[in-house]
Amino acid sequence: MESEEYGDANGLVRLLDVHRPELLRFLTARCGSADEAEDVVQEMWIKVSGQATGPITNGRAYLFRMANNLVLDRARGRRRSMQRERTWLEAEGGGVAHMPEDRADPGEPADEIIAREQEAEVLRDAIAALPEGAQRALRLYRFDEIGQKEIADIMGISRSGVEKHLALAMKRLRQALADCGAFDAAASREHGDPGLNQGQGGGKPHMEQGR
Amino acid sequence: MKSEDDTILAEAARWHIASGDDAMDWDAFTLWLEADPRHSSAYNEVALTDGLLQEYRDTLQDASEPLADEPLIAVNDAAPLETALETASEGAEIIRPAFGKRIRWAGFAIAATLAAVLAIPQFMAPASQVYETTAASRQIALEDGSTIMLAPRSSLTVEGRHQDHMALSGGALFDIRHDPDRQLTITAGGLRISDIGTRFDVQAQDKRVRVSVVEGKVEVSSERLTAPVQLAAGKRLSFDGDAGTASVAEVRSEDVGAWEKGRLSYDNAPLALVVTDLHRYAGVEVAVPDALRDRRFSGTLVISDGDAALRDLAQVMGLRLGGRAGAWRLEQPAS
Residues in chain A: 211
Interface test with B, best of A22, A57, A132 (most B CBs within 10 A): A22
pLDDT at A12: 79
Which pLDDT band holds residue A146 (cuts at 50, 70, 90)? confident
Q: Do B45 and A183 touch (CB under 8 A)?
A: yes
Q: A172, B130: Cβ pair inside 8 Å?
A: no
Q: Are strands B296-302 and B286-287 parallel, antiparallel or unpaired?
A: unpaired
Considering CB atoms only, which of A51, A125, A171 is closest to B13?
Answer: A171
Fold of B262-335: Phage tail protein beta-alpha-beta fold (3.55.50)
The per-residue DSSP string of B265-325 comes to EEEEEEHHHHHHHHHHHH---EE--GGGTT-EEEEEEE-SSHHHHHHHHHHHHT-EEEEET
Q: How far, CA to CA in Å, does B257 sit from each of A58, B252, B284, B285?
A: 32, 10, 19, 21
Put simply, the answer to whether B155 touches A15 (Cβ < 8 Å) is no
**How does B137-149 read in b/e, with b if 16+ C-beta sit within 10 Å?**
bbebebeeebebb
pLDDT of residue B270: 86
* Nearest residue to B162 via CA among B138, B139, B183, B141: B183
Element (H, E) at B44: helix B37-55
- How far is the alpha carbon of A85 from chain B, nearest alpha carbon, in Å? 19
The residue of B14, B38, B41, B140 whose CB has the most chain A CBs within 10 angstroms, and thus the best one to mutate to test that interface, is B41
Distance from CA of B315 to the nearest CA of A (A): 33
- What CATH fold (topology level) applies to the domain A1-81? Rna Polymerase Sigma Factor; Chain: A (1.10.1740)
Tell me the fold of B127-258.
Jelly Rolls (2.60.120)
Instruction: Render pLDDT for A59-72 as a digit per residue (tens, 0 to 9).
Output: 888 889 999 999 99
Q: Residue B105, Cβ neighbours under 10 Å: how many?
A: 23
Set of chain A residues whose Cβ sits within 8 Å of the Cβ of B98: none
- Which of B22, B45, B160 shows the shortest C-beta gap to A178? B45
Q: Name the nearest CA neighbour of B206 among B187, B223, B189, B190.
A: B189
pLDDT of B105 reads 35
Q: Check A29 against B30: CB less than 8 A apart.
A: yes
Nearest-by-Cβ selection for A163 from B18, B40, B160: B18
Q: Are the Cβ atoms of A166 and B63 closer than 8 angstroms?
A: no
- How large is the average pLDDT for residues A72-85? 83
Q: Residue B98: what pLDDT? A: 35
Q: Which of A70, A130, A144, A164 should be substituted to probe chain B, the one whose Cβ sees the most B Cβ atoms within 10 Å? A: A164
Query: Exposed, middle or buried, B263 (CB in 10 Å: 0-12/13-18/19+)?
Result: middle
Across the interface, of A55, A58, A183, the residue whose CB is closest to B102 is: A58
Between A165 and B4, the more confident residue is A165
Task: Say if the Cβ atoms of A49 and B20 lie within 8 Å.
Answer: no
- Domain-wise residue ranges, chain B: 1-57, 127-258, 262-335
What residue in A sits closest to B40 (Cα-Cα)?
Answer: A30
Cβ distance A164 to B156 less than 8 Å, yes or no, reads no
What does the domain layout of chain A look like in residue ranges?
1-81, 108-211
Q: Cα separation of A202 and A123, whole Å? A: 20
> What's the mean pLDDT in A28-32?
93
Structural contact between residues B280 and B170, judged by C-beta atoms closer than 8 angstroms? yes
Mean pLDDT of all residues in A32-50: 89
Do B42 and A14 count as a contact with CB atoms less than 8 A apart? no
**Residue B118 vs residues A48, B305, B312: alpha-carbon distances, Å:** 14, 50, 54
For the stretch B55-74, pLDDT in tens is 888 888 765 444 333 333 33
Helix (H) or strand (E) segment spanning residue B152: none
Q: Which positions in chain A touch B42 (Cβ < 8 Å)?
A: 196
pLDDT in tens, chain B (335 residues): 457 788 899 989 999 998 877 778 888 899 889 888 899 999 999 999 999 888 888 888 765 444 333 333 333 333 333 333 333 334 333 333 333 333 333 333 333 333 333 333 333 334 567 888 888 888 888 887 788 999 988 889 888 777 788 889 899 999 888 776 777 889 888 888 987 668 899 999 878 899 999 888 888 888 777 778 888 888 899 888 877 788 888 888 888 888 888 888 888 888 988 998 888 888 888 999 988 988 888 888 888 888 888 988 998 888 998 888 778 899 888 76
Is CATH 1.10.10.10 what the domain over A108-211 is classified as, yes or no?
Answer: yes
Q: Residue B35's closest chain A neighbor by CA?
A: A29
State whether residue B119 is helix, strand or coil.
Answer: helix
Q: Is A179 exposed, middle or buried (0-12, 13-18, 19+ CB in 10 A)?
A: buried
Contact criterion met (CB < 8 Å) for A129 and B75: yes
